[in-house]
Amino acid sequence: MLGEGIIKGMAETARNFVGSYHDPLRLTTVEYPEAKIAAKENARNFPFLVFDGDDAMKGLRCVACQICEKECPPQCIFIVKDTVKKPDYIGKMQVQPKIFNIDISVCMSCQICVEVCPFEAIKMDTSFELSNYDRFGGLLLDKHQLARPNGYYHKIHAIEAEEVDARLAAEKAKAEAKAKADAEAKTKAAAAAAAKPPALAAPVK
């Protein structure tokens, strides 16, 4: 029948309109910005830098390897590696970025920087209220503006952050076990060398 689709669509709209007064599931909109719908686990907007501990700059996981800078398709990441190692949040000497900027006016939210980072240091944010009157400087974010605690990562991507934490803990345990085994092997070798009798001098002819 001609117009059948339109009638069906209007009926559905009317059903949702009337139903939304008594069934909250039919109310699919909220009064933004007073009310907001929480972003979905897989939502993504622009990248941020994860840090551990309480000090954002000491705790940055980023070691300025610059892989993300090279792989970013529109080249909107700019990194300058620090020339000296500095103590991180647990006192381990680490190279970190002196400058780490992302121009989010150019970023296309492709997530390639996240995929290529070997240190779980950069992740995608879900925040979208980033409008700014300054077209250039206001959208060029530095490492201070990009840094977010691991707790924030857990808040916006709970499942993924749990997996990352488990992976990092397993890698840390493996590295510690290897370091312990290496140290034990070194001690054994030193003890064996000390216990060995000195070689006899060759007889003089």
Residues that bind ligand SF4 (CB under 6 A): 47, 62-68, 72-74, 76-77, 79, 102, 107-113, 116-117, 119, 121-122
Instruction: Quote the least distance from Cβ 68 to ligand SF4, whole Å.
Output: 3
CB of 82 to ligand SF4, least distance (A): 12
Question: Smallest gap, in angstroms, from Cβ of residue 69 to ligand SF4?
Answer: 6
Name the residue nearer to ligand SF4 (CB basis): 19 or 73: 73
Q: C-alpha angle 115/87/51, rounded to 5°?
A: 35
Q: Shortest gap between Cβ of 156 and ligand SF4 (angstroms)?
A: 15
* Bond prior to 198 in cis (omega within 30° of 0): no
Shortest distance (Å) from residue 29 CB to ligand SF4:
29
Q: How many Cα atoms occupy the beta-carbon half-sphere of 193 within 13 Å?
A: 6
Residue 30 or 99: the one with the smaller Cβ distance to ligand SF4 is 99
Q: How far is the CB of 37 from ligand SF4 (least distance, A)?
A: 23
- Pairing relationship of beta strands 93-94 and 86-87 according to DSSP bridges: antiparallel
Indicate the residue among 121 and 139 with the shorter CB distance to ligand SF4: 121
CB closer to ligand SF4, 15 vs 70: 70
